[in-house]
Structure 1
Amino acid sequence: MRNLDEILHQAALPDAVTDDDLDDLQQEVVRDVTAVLMLGARPAPEGQLPTPLDRAEAELQELSSSFLRSDTAAQHLSRLADEPVDADGALYFGCLLNLVQERDGALWWWQFAAGAGNATAAHCLYLLHLRHGELRDASHWAHQAFILGAQIQLTPRPCCHQLDTHTKALREAVDRLKVDEVDGAPLHHPDQHLADRVEELADAC
């Protein structure tokens, strides 16, 4: 396996990049990987900058929330309830499951969507694996998201004080869904009732 020095040396970087820039880049990569492997499973200490895992978690939560709040969420979930092969619906449903910490379900639906060519689902998988320190899987899905042309733009929201109530309502809505077991993990299925309520459930603030 090539070491980091070889990878950086062979990278097609612009001529304007200096040796000092490469040294800084190498140190940043080493710091991030070390943080993920050794410290990333814990939140950043108060008053310190967040670790890569913290940043991945924050982006994934905001991305999931933004899809659930979108005007097309009900339409996509309804379509998936009727036809459980809809890739866009699988992306939205994975986001909903992620918000209630159903990791296995979110993983399954995002993998389905990404396999059908959904770039945003691939990006979600990258963040999900990075959040858990699974670097090899994170790297794979980051590459897939790049190939598929993922373009993610998030607008940070002000803090919402009703988030706990919102999450509880989502949790209750998910608990009433049909669940199958796939490879020992629960697999939730959306229905029309959930699609009809998604706007109400997403109205956290």
Structure 2
Amino acid sequence: MRSIHDVLGGAGYPDPFTDEDLADLKRDIIRDVTATQMFGTRPAPVGVFPTLHEQADRHLTTLSAHLLRQGDAAEHVAQLASEGTDDYGALLFAALLFLVDEREGARFWWGFAAGAGNAVAAKCLHLYHLSRGELRDADQWALEAATATVTPPLPRTPARRSPGRNEALRAAVRRLEVDAVSGHSRVQRPAQHLADRIEELAAAL
């Protein structure tokens, strides 16, 4: 299998999406960034409303589970595992890692997909950094999402069903090989055995 460094070197898949998609995404991003600038450093009263950071984390959790429930998830993760050239597979693999709290690995693979121009991955990174209170990085990825060139064919609104705890998914991720990459403490490699089970595992989310 190619190394992660080789995978990163092969990123880049121009595929423009529609003006309507871009306009919708820009509206979402402008709303999120405006809310961040206005309220991002002011937590809501305890027990009343979740903070913006908590909302971002919940949104990202829901979006990640929604991504994995797409019917072609196994195919794309398998292609990422075998060839290292599928930005949609990287988006899905990152979502899987995020759901089992392997957030450094998730950030790496979202970065790989966003580097290939994937708008949804850039949006995920926007939410990731917003959830951590890293407002400058969140704004940067919001702008990247607005100008990205690739978007997966997903429904516009994520399902509202909340993902549950999935010990089988955690166990499958623990079997993956892990690399150390500059700027990331743990980066998991995608593997065929995980792709083979991804639909089964995602169905339980």
Q: Aligning the two structures, in what range does the TM-score lie when normalised by the shorter sequence? A: 0.7 to 0.9
Segments of structure 1 that go 5 or more residues without pairing to the other structure are 1-28
Aligned sequence identity (%): 46
How far apart are 1:110 and its partner, in Å? 0.5
Higher relative contact order (CA 8 A, sep 6+): 2
* Deviation by residue 1:136-175 (Cα, 9 ceiling, x = unmatched): 0000000111112768421212x56xx23x1x21111110
TM-score, length-scaled by structure 1: 0.75
Q: Deviations over 1:60-85 (max 9, x none)?
A: 00110011111011011101011113
| 1:70-149 matches, cutoff 5 A | 70-148=70-148
How big is the alpha-carbon RMSD for the aligned residues of Structure 1 and Structure 2?
2.3
- SS of 1:66's equivalent in the other structure is helix
Aligned partners of 1:56 and 1:130 also within 8 Å: yes
Aligned to 2:174: 175
Across the two proteins, how many residue pairs are aligned to each other?
168
Q: Which amino acid aligns with 2:169?
A: L
CA shift for structure 1 position 190: 1.0
CA distance in 2, matches of 1:34, 1:146: 20
Paired with 1:84 and 1:119, the residues of 2 have a C-alpha distance of 19
One-letter identity of the residue aligned with 1:55: Q
CA distance in 2, matches of 1:111, 1:190: 15
> In the alignment, residue 197 of structure 2 is paired with which amino acid?
R
Question: Structure 2: which 5+ residue stretches go unaligned?
Answer: 1-33
- Structure number with greater Rg is 1
Q: Which amino acid aligns with 1:124?
A: C
Residue 46 of structure 2 is matched in structure 1 by 45
Aligned equivalents of 2:65 and 2:185: distance in 1?
Answer: 24
Question: Residue deviations 1:124-143, cap 9 Å, x none?
Answer: 00000000000000000001
CA distance in 1, matches of 2:88, 2:38: 35
